[in-house]
Amino acid sequence: MKRVLYLIAFALLGVASQAQQPGFPTYQTQPVSISGTVPVTVGNSHYLARIMQPEKDRMRREGMRVNQAYTTYAQSLTVTPPQTQTLTINNNTAYFSYTPQVGNKTWFEEINVSVSEPTYIALQWQNSPLNIAGFAANYDPVYVTPNQPYKFTINNWVYNNETIAITQVGSFTTTQNFWVRVGVSAAVRTTMDFGRNAEKVILKIHDSILNGSGPSSWEDYFDARLRTELQKVTGKTWEIIGKGNGGFTSSQIEAMRSQGEIRNIIQPDIILYEPMMNDNDANVYDANLAKMIAEKQTYFPGALMFVIGITPRSDANESILAQCRAKAEARVLATNDNRVILVNMGDLWSPGATPSSYWVDSSPPYVHPNATGHGLMFTRLWSRVSPVLHLIP
């Protein structure tokens, strides 16, 4: 017992010694109990700092806030008085529906519902394989009246293989305009890796290419393949933190960086900087990349940063991507830092290739790689990662 207490005390001293390092959170949190022995070295002090955060603090640091506060479903009359009209609201009409994309999960604290007419609604968990014998349905209807918002307390994760929805229970008719407003409180999206408490961290800064708009299994994406290979080679556990969203440009990533969304993460070991596909100005991309490299050098000097020159797309915007790749190459060269490394993927296949060979999109423009495409991307990335693995503490 004395040995355990000694090791915990020494661990806390190690964590405190990091408090003056750039990017380390210095606010106080609630203590976390630890049982068993904890081997303490300088190399794992950041690991201890990460896992000793309260879960919600860590979730907000390592996840993406869901900022869309509410959505409104409405049906309106198309006639004017004294004419009358009947509106029909069908059973199982979805007023709100959300499914995390592949590789993601989202934490919901509560959902608030307001209605213009009294009606029965339900919170549904759809597509979930976790059905319990003895229950007849995946919802319990509640009666909601105007001016009396109803709060569903969730406090749970929605995973990438299921949907959370607010739906109508039973059909009804009305002669009034009808609406339902659904408000979401305190939702945060993370990768499916969140909570693994791995020893090493990959931070991906990304757009839709690494946000589930590709293969149906996360393990086919090049970031997940990298994580798996690193675990085999290093003998350590790894997890992926994601900062980004589908449709993001490097400018939206820059806005996120300027708000402190990157520097507050506790020491990633590898950074994948992937946004490029949606950019339409190579000079703007270059300026944003320069700021991200400076951020890395200031707050994460020991991390390896891999700048991805993204794969081809099938439309005229490929010419802009070519310029962005050239800017990325020049920027990395000018940085002259052996921990900032270019990974050019622009030559992995031709922009005019047969779409089904490399892309998952069913119609042009073809931009999102399929499992084959991600396999090629991983191979190229690993060829740049493996020679410098010794640089990771």
Whether residue 62 lies inside any domain: the answer is no
Label residue 20 by pLDDT band (50, 70, 90): very low
One domain, residues 321 and 226: yes
Q: Which residues contact 245 (CB under 8 A, 6 or more apart)?
A: 64, 207, 208, 211, 252
Residue 368, pLDDT score: 98
One domain, residues 72 and 12: no
User: Mean of the per-residue pLDDT values for the chain?
Assistant: 87
Residue 135, pLDDT score: 66
Separation between Cα atoms, residue 124 and residue 131, nearest integer Å: 12
One domain, residues 180 and 200: no
Which of 138, 165, 186 terminates a domain? The answer is 186
Label residue 131 by pLDDT band (50, 70, 90): low
Which of 147, 164, 186 terminates a domain? The answer is 186
Residue 127, pLDDT score: 84
pLDDT for 42 beyond 60: no
Which of 158, 186, 214 terminates a domain? The answer is 186
Helices (H), 194-340: 222-234, 250-258, 282-299, 318-335
- pTM, whole model, 2 decimals? 0.85
One domain, residues 31 and 74: no
Whether residue 120 lies inside any domain: the answer is yes
Q: In the chain, pLDDT over 90 holds for what percent of residues? A: 71
One domain, residues 254 and 345: yes
E strands present in the chain: 64-65, 70-75, 87-89, 94-98, 104-115, 119-126, 142-144, 150-159, 163-168, 172-174, 178-185, 188-191, 200-206, 238-244, 270-273, 304-309, 340-344
Label residue 70 by pLDDT band (50, 70, 90): confident
- Domain limits for position 213: 193-391
pLDDT for 17 beyond 70: no
pLDDT for 6 beyond 70: no
Mean pLDDT of 283-288: 98
**DSSP symbol at 369:** B
One domain, residues 103 and 218: no
Instruction: Determine the 3-state secondary structure of 359 from DSSP.
Output: strand
Mean pLDDT of 347-352: 97
* Ranges 55-59, 87-91, 97-101, 305-309: which has the least confidence: 55-59
One domain, residues 167 and 313: no
pLDDT for 3 beyond 50: no
Whether residue 58 lies inside any domain: the answer is no
Residue 170, pLDDT score: 94
Separation between Cα atoms, residue 203 and residue 292, nearest integer Å: 13
Q: DSSP readout, 153-195?
A: EEEEEEETT-EEEEEE-S-EEESS-EEEEEEEES-EEEETTTT
Q: What is the CATH number of the domain that holds 294?
A: 3.40.50.1110
pLDDT for 231 beyond 70: yes
Mean pLDDT of 260-285: 95
One domain, residues 124 and 206: no
One domain, residues 199 and 347: yes
One domain, residues 46 and 71: no
Whether residue 203 lies inside any domain: the answer is yes
pLDDT for 202 beyond 50: yes
Residue 275, pLDDT score: 97
Residue 208, pLDDT score: 96
Total domain count, the chain? 3
Mean pLDDT of 95-99: 94
Separation between Cα atoms, residue 311 and residue 376, nearest integer Å: 10
Separation between Cα atoms, residue 228 and residue 224, nearest integer Å: 6
Mean pLDDT of 199-223: 96
One domain, residues 200 and 324: yes
One domain, residues 218 and 337: yes
